[in-house]
Structure 1
Amino acid sequence: MQRSTLSQRMPNVLILSTVMLSLLTGLFLFSGSQSASAAGHVSPNNTVSIHPQYLYQGKPQAGVTFSCQSNTAAVRCYGPEQIRKAYDIQPLLDKGITGKGRKIVIIDAFDAPTIREDLATFDALFGLNDPVLNIYYPDGKTPFDYNDENQVGWSGEITLDVQWAHAVAPDATIQLVLAKSNNDADILSATKFAVRQNLGDVISQSFGEGEKCVDPKLLKEEHQLFFEASLKGITLFASAGDQGSSQPTCDGSNNFFLSASSPATDPFVTSVGGTQLDADATTGAYKGEVVWNEPDFGVAGGGGYSTIYRTPLYQLGTKGIGKYRGGPDVSYNGAINGGVLAVWNADGTGQGVYIFGGTSAGSPQWAGITALGAQLANKRLGFLNPGFYILGHSPLAKQVFHDVTTGDNGYSYVDDNGKTVTIPGYKATKGWDAATGWGTPDVSKLLPALTKLTVTSSKDLTKFK
């Protein structure tokens, strides 16, 4: 039997979308339970965390190929050309769909003092144009301290987010919004600024913490803010986490507990999990993917189930999801062995080229993909989760997603007593799973379908609240 083309099958998907959207008339409900006893005391000054993983590769030099850019390297890496090929982004760029006229908002904390210079070097190294980069400090600029490990980690996160959102959507404006600290309240304040100033089409959040670690009042305020963002047609992404099925306990110890990550669990947010991409290191030709799980580095792709939010209606009927919201919704390459290259002045003394990994690499790249889609559709894409699930359940799923069916996101660590503790993870399966969601995108095929399945009207969005 001859396979039908994407365009031939779209009418059936649109009929399906109409039926499903007509059924999405319920509410997202808190479970009513916010006990943090298993995770430790919730502090009103609790913080979100980032865990960018990076390996130094050398100094940036034009025309230099780094040792990791080889199919025989012990630890491999990819530049923009290879990622664009692997995820089928390049055909859109070749047609002039480059994010032009669209704006990507990136929320981070503290600062990256050399971000403009590092971005310029990154662009020169990989042959990219320099974008418009606007930086906002809505609550004031915190003086940067290179002796503060937390601040240095955030500067690496900022570097990764900005450079790789730009690598995917090279002509989009980057709106970098920096909270004065990574305290929950400060991050929320920065996000409020971005939403209420209507700074962009899509927001990337490469950070998170265990749901039970968030103050319940702040969590509800955040949920309301995400609803407001969706009313404005702003798409929201967040990283699912880098400790597999677990999150750090709320007491600041070196322990972990079974938990999904907030804000990725919010039903208005698209949760981005992690895979390990296998592509040709030179051409970027796609070969396959498995669940991101690298015990040697102590990292794995986040995923699991909320204990706060009931199952949103777009997840009803999805195998593997019960009474509570499951995540991630989609995934992207997050491995260190197979990570992406970025230029970073880590200590203020000079630029280096680093391999970066983490689900924090996936969120900004999905934001870049959304900027491409917004240019393609000539409008904001808005709330995307219903569209992802419509496509995931449709015959188009095999064309628009790389379904990841190998691996799991179990996580092991050594506790303060020197004992190895293992938190069981979730296995990848056919279709949606709590390790990789629906999988990773074939962007050139996904966006023409996804742009027809957006939810932006206030009438429809009120049903979700």
Structure 2
Amino acid sequence: MKVSLSGISVTALSVALTWLSTSSVSTALPSHNVPKAVELATDRGRVNPTNEINLTVVLKLHNQAAYDKAVEALYDPASPTFHQWFKEEDFLKYAPTQQEFEAVKLELVNAGFSVVDSDPHRFSIRVHGTIGSAESAFQTEIHSFTFRGKTFDAHIHDAKLTGSANDFVDSVAGLERHQARPQIAVAKNFRTGQPLFKEPLAKAKDTGGLLGLITGIPLSYPQTFNYSLTDPNISATYRGTVYAIDPTRIVSYTPQELQTHYGLTPLIEEGYNGKGQTIALVEGYGYADAESDANAAAQIFGLPLFTNSTFQVVYPEGKPLNPNAADLTNWTGEIALDIQSAHAIAPGAKILVVASAGQDDEDQIASLNYIIKHHLANAVSSSWENDDEMIAGPAELDAFNSVLKKGAASGISFQFSTGDNGDLGLGTPVGAVEVPSDAPWAVAVGGTSILNDPVSLGDVSAGWGNNVGYIASGGPLDPPVALGFSGGAGGGQSQYFAKPTWQEGLPGSWRQVPDVSALADPYTGFAIVFTSEGVQYFEAGVGGTSLASPIFTAIWAIADQFNGHPLGFASPAVARLKQGEITDVVPVSPLNAHNPAGSVTDSNGTTDYTTPELFSGFLYSQTQFPAAIWPFDSEDTAVLSFGTDSSLTVTRGWDNVTGYGEPNGLPFILAVSLDAAKNGKVKK
């Protein structure tokens, strides 16, 4: 579905993309660092200078090129330093001097900031002050803007730290204020707009067994549907595979079904269930009932209950001032989904929730730094995104990537959701990749749909992208109505970051997103328990790349356990995989042969409709995708497509919806576990 760009001219958009594509990735605070969206957005005026603000200032390293080379060598199997993660002395070889650090700190303190925290290797410093302090320190003004339906704050003049201390600054996060948004999606009734199933847990239990409310069989054998009105001249006939044929059961997979799909069951039975590993989840705010909700879900699905040793919440900045903050900002369901889906895949792992006191981009950077500083986990999932690259300027983009690179040097893999809105309405395969999954040192996790083949049986994966059409509402629709794109995995090509070395075989010169994928489609989703406003709910049909990121992170934690040594940043290992070591998600499926098609007869005759025509005008050039007829209530029948992700497309090999594909159990684990092979634990 093409999304309006709020009156932005094609020329203006072209200028913006040109700016991004010609921006270089600098090792110092870029001289032109105002977000390009500032030139295109509506300026709402200067932000109140007394408002409080946090900044993370990243310092310039010594011999950046040598540092980059040393970190990359950690991920080269031919290197003598392969998987020899940096120790303190390794970081200090490249660290800013104490004098440089003190000069930056003094300049910030003189501007009115107080120091909140600093990296032990002097890579960064975090300070607290006012908007006025930031404007004074960085010689700019901070204004509020609206752009493409989003509101954000940004500096309007190039940020430059006062005095010679600017020579020591690499990047800064916090001058631009973006809110990290959960990437959670929910299956909905298209007539009412309400979730397909969300009931208080107590009420849901009264209807019978909770497992009887969900089904892991989304598609049923092809059927014929006939529709007619009182007017005998109008009738319609459609035939095709049927989605969710039983309206009393919502399509949602159990943990055991997901373990089977990803080939993990034999590994888990052998004890490779994440035991001894910690999965960190970076969240906004946190909420008090997270553990009790997770244990309620564990009881439903037959998983181990959490204890004080297997579940923990840390607050790097202290607890939020408002204990209901997660509810008010839609983080509660997100947190529940992350915890419960990670536990579903790696039931033996410890889950650590790292709860930021806010949801600004800089709050999340602080949490990422906190994880690295205390080395809290080797596998980290962040099911949130900030904004696309046009809104997030060079200073923020570089700040995120610098922090994530340090994490990779420490042997930590940071996963990020790629978003739930496809190409963000740009209508081009370039897309508008979101921050920070666009960072070369982030593992960008895209999304899939998990379908069954009702004819030949077995699982079939498609790239996540749903389109919807209506064929009947109280009778046949003449003609059928295409509603358009309803959600899909984010992806595309960065217009700022150069292509990393492990993507050498991919097209273009820029960072490609995503790297890997897992289940994200809410119409083939997951069920969770969460508490909101004092009521504990059971909700089915939950997904988004919010689901994909913790699933892959949990699989990576199992790989760490199997390997016997942290595998670190996942992307280079995933890019090396060969056929059979990862499941390539491909566009052509045996399901396509049973896609819905039909005809409508009226006074003008009979009109035939092929599957693409039922989604007319919203499919770009996509013709090969599975779809199904969906009689979702007594009045309405829809057609639902899978694998139609805006202008992003699934292809053989790497693609901008699913990356290199989905993990496939033991072959995947064996292929990435090079340390285990080297030590004779397994034979390669």
TM-score range, shorter chain: 0.7 to 0.9
Q: Residues 380, 324 of structure 1: CA spacing in aligned structure 2 closer, same or farther, 3 A cutoff?
A: same
Any residues of structure 2 matched to 1:138-149 within 5 Å, and which? 138-144=316-322
Cα offset, 1:423, TM superposition:
10
Kindly report which structure 2 residues correspond to 1:156-167, keeping only aligned pairs within 5 A, or say none. 156-167=333-344
Number of equivalences = 399
SS state of the match for residue 495, structure 2?
strand
Comparing 237-246 with 53-62, greater Cα deviation is found at: 53-62
User: Which residue does the alignment assign to 2:497?
Assistant: 309
1:147–1:267: structure 2 CA closer, same or farther, 3 Å change rule?
closer
User: Judging changes above 3 Å, is the alpha-carbon distance between structure 1 residues 269 and 66 closer, same or farther for their aligned structure 2 residues?
Assistant: same
User: Between the two proteins, what is the percent identity of the paired residues?
Assistant: 26
Deviation at 1:402, TM superposition (A): 3.6
| Aligned position for 2:587 | 405
Match of 1:374 among 560, 565, 577: 560
Q: Does 1:220 align with 2:398?
A: yes
Out of 434, 438, 445, the position equivalent to 2:660 is 438
Deviation at 1:188, TM superposition (A): 0.9
* CA deviation after TM superposition for structure 1 residue 154, in Å: 0.8
Higher relative contact order (CA 8 A, sep 6+): 1
2:420 paired residue number: 242
Say which of 193, 203, 215 aligns to 1:69.
215
Alpha-carbon distance between aligned partners in 1 of 2:583 and 2:326, rounded to the nearest angstrom: 40
Q: Which residue of 2 aligns with 1:275?
A: 448
Is the contact between residue 263 and residue 664 of structure 2 (CA under 8 Å) also seen in structure 1? yes
The 5-angstrom pairing of residues 442-453 of structure 1 reads 442-452=664-674
Q: Tell me the CA shift for residue 424 of structure 1.
A: 5.2
Q: 1:69 to 1:362 in 2, by over 3 A?
A: same
Distance 1:438 1:214, change over 3 A: same
Q: Radius of gyration: which is bigger?
A: 2
- Supply the RMSD in Å over aligned alpha carbons: 3.0
Q: Could you tell me how far apart the structure 2 residues matched to 1:184 and 1:70 are?
A: 37
Q: In structure 1, give the amino acid aligned to 2:585.
A: D
Say which SS state the counterpart of residue 212 (structure 1) adopts: coil
Preserved contact between residue 104 and residue 200 of structure 1 (Cα < 8 Å)? yes
> CA offsets per residue over residues 407-462 of structure 1, 9 Å max, x none?
99x989xxxxxxxxx995121111111121111111221011012189xxxxxxxx
Q: Distance in 2 between matches of 1:232 and 1:64?
A: 43
Match of 2:349 in 1: 172
**Cα distance 1:366–1:286, how it changes in 2: closer, same or farther (>3 A)?**
farther
Matched letter for residue 580 of structure 2: K
Q: Which of 435, 456, 459 lines up with 1:287 in the alignment?
A: 459
Shift of 1:299: 1.2
Q: CA deviation at 1:406?
A: 5.0
1:114 aligns to what?
289
Q: Counterpart of 1:274 in 2: which secondary structure?
A: strand
Secondary structure of the equivalent of 1:185?
helix
Task: Name the CA distance, whole Å, in 2 between partners of 1:90 and 1:67.
Answer: 24
- CA gap of 1:428–1:180, structure 2 versus 1, over 3 A, is same
- Structural mapping, 1:21-420, within 5 Å: 30=25, 35-36=36-37, 37=39, 40=147, 43=154, 44-54=176-186, 55=195, 56-58=197-199, 59=201, 61=205, 63-69=209-215, 71=217, 72-73=245-246, 75-131=250-306, 132-144=310-322, 150-151=328-329, 153-208=330-385, 209-246=387-424, 258-279=431-452, 286-296=458-468, 298-318=486-506, 321-391=507-577, 396-405=578-587
When residues 406 and 344 of structure 1 are mapped into structure 2, their CA distance, relative to the original with a 3 A threshold, is farther
Structure 1 residues 235-244 or 212-221, which shifts more? 212-221
The letter of the residue matching 1:439 is G
Task: Tell me the alpha carbon deviations over residues 141-192 of structure 1, each in whole angstroms, 9 at most, x when there is no partner.
Answer: 11446598652x1111111001111111111111110111111111111111
The letter for the 1-side match of 2:554 is: G
Contact 2:216-2:254 within 8 A present in 1 as well: no
Matched to 2:441, the amino acid is F
Q: Secondary structure at the match of 1:238?
A: strand
| Runs of 5+ unmatched residues, structure 1 | 1-27, 249-256, 413-421, 455-465
Deviation at 1:261? 1.3
Tell me, yes or no, if the aligned pair for 2:397 and 2:439 is still in contact at 8 Å. Answer: no
Is the contact between residue 527 and residue 542 of structure 2 (CA under 8 Å) also seen in structure 1?
A: yes
Q: Distance in 2 between matches of 1:98 and 1:334?
A: 22
Shift of 1:246: 1.4
Rounded to whole Å, the distance in 2 between the matches of 1:233 and 1:139 is 24
SS of alignment partner, residue 279 of structure 2: strand
Give 1:370 deviation, angstroms.
0.9
Alpha-carbon deviation of 1:63? Answer: 4.4
**Is the 8 Å Cα contact of residues 99 and 375 (structure 1) preserved in structure 2?**
yes
SS at match of 2:182: coil
Describe the shift of the 1:176–1:213 C-alpha distance in structure 2 as closer, same or farther (beyond 3 A).
same
Contact 2:465–2:488 (CA under 8 A) maintained in structure 1: yes
The change in CA–CA distance for 1:247 and 1:160 in structure 2 (over 3 A counts) is: farther
SS in 2 for 1:434: coil
Q: 1:280 to 1:380 in 2, by over 3 A?
A: farther
Cα contact 1:204–1:237 (8 A) shared by 2: yes
In the alignment, residue 109 of structure 1 is paired with which amino acid? G
- After superposition, the Cα gap between the structure-2 partners of 1:70 and 1:85, relative to the gap in structure 1 and judged at 3 Å, is closer
Q: Which moved more, 1:348-357 or 1:61-70?
A: 61-70
Tell me which residue corresponds to 1:457.
none
1:141–1:215: structure 2 CA closer, same or farther, 3 Å change rule? farther
